[in-house]
Structure 1
Amino acid sequence: MTTTWAKPQQPATEDRRWKALGVCLTAGFISLLDTSIVNVALPSMEHGLGATEAAQSWVVSGYALTFGLALVPAGRLGDMRGRRQAFLIGLALFTLASAACGLAASADWLVVSRLIQGAAAGMVAPQTSGLIQQMFQGAERARAFGLLGSVIGVSTAVGPLAGGLIIDAVGTDDGWRWVFFVNLPIGVAALAAGLRLLPRFPAVGKREEFDPVGVLLLGSGVIALMLPLVQEQQWTGRQKWALVPLGALLLALFWTWERRHGRLGRAPLVDLRLFSLRSFTLGALVSLSYFAGFTTVFFVLALFLQNAAGYSALAAGVTVLPFAAASAVGAALGGRLVVRHGRKLVVLGLSGVALGLLGIIAVVRLVPLDSFGWAAALPMVVGGIGSGITVSPNTTLTLTRVPVKRAGAAGGVLQTGQRVGSAAGIAVVGSVYFAHLAGRGPAVEALQLGLLTSVGLILVALCLAVADLRERAKAPGTDTEPGELEPAA
């Protein structure tokens, strides 16, 4: 089957399309913001709600788990039933779940609401990439993915700052509630704008059947894989790691089932022919490896700055602000340059992130802790620009050759890899950091070792991108030109 660029399927002015994109990016921003904004609110939850350490852990990890679990089925649902409808339902559910979180009268209530909120976020995310592919083509699509990359980078980085500002303004007793309530006016406004602006594209797979067996196998595999990762610090003992080979087995069974489903002429949950596209397979691996290293930086820095350096939650958030601002600039720039430079841009971006992290390690080693924030600003900017010109170009290159009919499921696969990578990276880097502290090593050395581990994960992504770049040099072609899906084996 030959794939072509997705062209807008209904008359729409350019202004209306970009406004519709703004709605998608707003929803994406608040859903991704919630992956990190609650981290600094955990002490407030303990003080104001009496949340135990286990409950606090599930507030953080439960969101990540259900977010990752919902992505592929929700993407497929959008492909089948219409992305506009799936997006609006997901956004409405996310807004209601945010209200339920803020009104929670007990820790159990909060955890359950948080799980629903994560699933709703996972429903929204793949619709955004699918709608971008339907509304835009060529350089405009790259620019749109560049803006999406800005949202991904900024929302992840400013979460601690936003949480710190809210806690500082409202106080520790009820500050955690407003971390969730802040989503309400944004969610309601985005929902109203979405009802008016989002295009009514016909469902591209409306005659296809859903694949419940595929959903069950993929979901159970993702749960088995992610649970020991997101609960790495809370579940003591090595028994938890038995879930990892179980998850791998379930995912292998999912692969076998999907191949069989395709051979029988039925629509699978994930069209495995997507992995015959080198751009998709390699881009997904680069994304997984990069997010394993990228998101862990804020995790260990937040711990170090507040627990070892004595920073407040607000001061810790301000410290990473240069990274967030530079990431937004880099992503917008990357979206404009990716059509011309392709994978070279990703290689440059990954190199910049690695260089920035090495600069932060040098600052930690050489500069007094009370001057760390100022001294780390320059390497934060270098790393942030590198992150921006990594995420958005890689997303563009990964999804370029994906048929619009499979855009939702493909976006779900890509983002599931990002969530699994983030969980795995936090587990690995966190283990290195806490192991050194448990051995009564200096916190400065623990941070250095943790950041070096993050650099190692990012270098894995860099090696993958360089290998792809060399292959493309042997067989010149345009990174962003349409391709083909190979027939099912």
Structure 2
Amino acid sequence: MTDAPITQNIPLTPQKRWRAYWVCVAVAALTILDLSKVNVALPSIEKSFGASSTELQLIVSGYVLAFGLTLVPAGRFGDIRSRKAFFIVGLTLFTLASVACALAPTSTFLLVARLVQGVAAGIQMPQVLGLIQQLFPGAERAKAFGLFGAMIGIATAVGPTLGGLLIAIGGEADGWRLIFWINLPLGVAALALAIWLLPKTRERSSRSVTIDPVGILLFGVTILALMWPFLLTTGAPTDDPARWWLLLVFVLGATAFIAWETRYAAGGRDPLIPLVLFRISSFRNGSALIAVYFAALPSAFLLTTLYLQQGLDLAPVFAGMVSIGFALTSALSSWRGGTLVSRYGRALVVWGLVGVLLGAGLLVAAAILTPPDLTPWFMAGAMLVAGTGGGFVVSPNQTLTLHDIPVRQGGLAGSVGQLGQRIGTAIGTAIALSLFYSTIYREKGSGESDITLYHHAYAYGMLSVALFIAVAFAIAVLDLGSRRRRGKTPTDDAA
């Protein structure tokens, strides 16, 4: 890697820093929206193209896969070149790919455009995290990450509602195209603001920049082999069991990647992922926690939407609106969490996970114990509880995870955390959907009423959500204990 000089704190006035910050956060929210709002569009896309279930699955999962594969290399390139330049490249490509999705004449064309869109998202997201870490020092950074977490929480929860609303406006046949068209004006506006407001983050270096091509290749094979079997898991009897052999390729690829990166670093060169980052306990524990947490959260949204649409025949727009409460309360608690993390540290995340677990339990209780016409209202109440807890997880954990990371590696470290989230989402969603649909396939024709069948399917799917939250809770408790044994106080985290 280059020895390019870097300004540790970008010399901007507070007003200019926050303007640049809001451009970054808005683009991050736009990126995350496309992870969730397309889910509710699948029935509309199926009607428009007569797409197969595999094609529909890939239209969603292909975006996630391309996103995940691009994150780490893009984070590395942004760190050694220019975060602003890569941000603009990613945003431009994302906007153009969205237009291609909106104009897609066939499902195959749409799938390819979604892959390009995922690559673009993977280019721009690491630059957002690197810029935030570089723009703000100390306690101000915690506040910035708190607001960042609030916006991401809103985008995650509002995605299904926005998707359902756009489909209702555009009609069943072509309403899904509006989901992509809306990215055009938003993308163009964000692009103009990015060119105008984002600061320069790199100076030219007189020394050459070295890239780790073998590391990039091994990394790509490893991540592809890990995510692919889960991304193609639907829970249907037609799922090909041979796909699980790819996990053996993952193990071999991961072993080769670690060996190569270790050797590459020992030769005095800078690897794609400096494995020494994982010796930093705050980074290691925080990255693991958020990966497991994101195996639970998107799965809970997806299962709830499926239950409301398929089990209760609720329209997509109304099914999506159930999660609005999560968006509102998580936004508030994320913002508050950004200020409280300096006082309570990891303990704040622990109690946040308790709130999320309680909310998940209330969602299942609402589905099973309440009359169908009242179920959406009770679920919306449960989302308020889960959102309050969720806001105390994401933004404080982001602050704690990156606290000990050098600013010059902020983009890379942030992209590793984002990769963990994408992998967690792929694995968690696959497990939850498998439990949901396998229960339906297994119990269909058993004499149970349809509503009882969906009660069982939702409960089994949400069981995986609860288990993932419990694992995240265990990691948070272990990290809290480790910090206390080292005598590390919450104030140290905000220093």
- TM-score range relative to shorter protein: over 0.9
* Per-residue Cα deviation, 1:34-82 (whole angstroms, up to 9, x for no partner): 0111111111112223333222111101000000000000000101111
Q: Retained in 1: the 8 A contact 2:345–2:493?
A: no
Where do 1:319-468 residues align within 5 Å? 319-440=322-443, 442-468=453-479
* CA-based RMSD: 1.7
Query: d(CA) in 1 for partners of 2:203 and 2:353?
Result: 37
- Once the 2 structures are TM-superposed, how far is the Cα of residue 245 of structure 1 from its aligned partner? 2.1
Q: Retained in 2: the 8 A contact 1:9–1:201?
A: no
Structure 2: any 5+ residue segments left out of the alignment? 1-5
Match of 1:3 in 2: none
- Once the 2 structures are TM-superposed, how far is the Cα of residue 435 of structure 1 from its aligned partner? 1.7
**1:297 and 2:300 matched:** yes
Match of 2:71 in 1: 71
- Once the 2 structures are TM-superposed, how far is the Cα of residue 436 of structure 1 from its aligned partner? 1.3
Query: d(CA) in 2 for partners of 1:74 and 1:100?
Result: 23
Match of 2:487 in 1: 476
Query: d(CA) in 2 for partners of 1:161 and 1:482?
Result: 36
**1:280 and 2:283 matched:** yes
- Once the 2 structures are TM-superposed, how far is the Cα of residue 439 of structure 1 from its aligned partner? 1.5
SS at match of 2:67: helix
* Per-residue Cα deviation, 1:392-421 (whole angstroms, up to 9, x for no partner): 111111111111121111111111111011
Query: d(CA) in 2 for partners of 1:57 and 1:451?
Result: 20
Distance 1:203 1:295, change over 3 A: farther
Distance 1:142 1:7, change over 3 A: farther
Match of 1:118 in 2: 118
> Which AA in structure 2 matches 1:314?
V
Distance 1:125 1:22, change over 3 A: same
Query: d(CA) in 1 for partners of 2:147 and 2:153?
Result: 10
- Once the 2 structures are TM-superposed, how far is the Cα of residue 445 of structure 1 from its aligned partner? 1.6
Q: Retained in 2: the 8 A contact 1:130–1:404?
A: yes
Q: Retained in 1: the 8 A contact 2:9–2:135?
A: yes
- Once the 2 structures are TM-superposed, how far is the Cα of residue 8 of structure 1 from its aligned partner? 5.6
Q: Retained in 2: the 8 A contact 1:208–1:267?
A: no
Query: d(CA) in 2 for partners of 1:359 and 1:178?
Result: 34
- Once the 2 structures are TM-superposed, how far is the Cα of residue 199 of structure 1 from its aligned partner? 0.6
SS at match of 1:241: helix
Distance 1:437 1:115, change over 3 A: same
- Once the 2 structures are TM-superposed, how far is the Cα of residue 204 of structure 1 from its aligned partner? 9.2
Query: d(CA) in 2 for partners of 1:7 and 1:396?
Result: 20
Q: Retained in 2: the 8 A contact 1:397–1:479?
A: no
Query: d(CA) in 2 for partners of 1:416 and 1:39?
Result: 20
- Once the 2 structures are TM-superposed, how far is the Cα of residue 481 of structure 1 from its aligned partner? 4.1
TM (norm. structure 2) is 0.94
Q: Retained in 1: the 8 A contact 2:38–2:179?
A: yes
SS at match of 2:404: coil
Match of 2:210 in 1: 209
Stretch of structure 1 that moved more, 167-176 or 202-211: 202-211
Match of 1:164 in 2: 164
* Per-residue Cα deviation, 1:410-462 (whole angstroms, up to 9, x for no partner): 11111111101111101111111112111216111211121122011100010
Distance 1:180 1:433, change over 3 A: same
> Which AA in structure 2 matches 1:469?
L
- Once the 2 structures are TM-superposed, how far is the Cα of residue 262 of structure 1 from its aligned partner? 0.8
> Which AA in structure 2 matches 1:47?
K
SS at match of 2:374: helix
Where do 1:234-249 residues align within 5 Å? 236-249=239-252
Where do 1:84-99 residues align within 5 Å? 84-99=84-99
Match of 2:3 in 1: none
Query: d(CA) in 1 for partners of 2:251 and 2:170?
Result: 45
> Which AA in structure 1 matches 2:39?
N
Match of 1:487 in 2: none
SS at match of 2:373: helix
Distance 1:113 1:436, change over 3 A: same
Number of residues paired by the alignment? 478
Distance 1:322 1:65, change over 3 A: same
TM (norm. structure 1) is 0.95
Q: Retained in 2: the 8 A contact 1:23–1:190?
A: yes
Stretch of structure 1 that moved more, 143-152 or 160-169: 143-152
- Once the 2 structures are TM-superposed, how far is the Cα of residue 173 of structure 1 from its aligned partner? 2.0
- Once the 2 structures are TM-superposed, how far is the Cα of residue 349 of structure 1 from its aligned partner? 0.6
Q: Retained in 1: the 8 A contact 2:54–2:232?
A: no
Distance 1:71 1:204, change over 3 A: farther
Match of 1:221 in 2: 222
> Which AA in structure 2 matches 1:323?
F
Match of 1:486 in 2: none
Structure 1: any 5+ residue segments left out of the alignment? 1-5, 484-489
Query: d(CA) in 1 for partners of 2:365 and 2:493?
Result: 44
Query: d(CA) in 2 for partners of 1:32 and 1:127?
Result: 14
Query: d(CA) in 2 for partners of 1:77 and 1:185?
Result: 28
> Which AA in structure 2 matches 1:452?
L
Match of 2:266 in 1: 263
Q: Retained in 2: the 8 A contact 1:7–1:136?
A: no
- Once the 2 structures are TM-superposed, how far is the Cα of residue 90 of structure 1 from its aligned partner? 0.3
> Which AA in structure 2 matches 1:115?
L
Distance 1:437 1:403, change over 3 A: same
Q: Retained in 1: the 8 A contact 2:7–2:201?
A: no
Match of 2:200 in 1: 200
SS at match of 2:105: coil
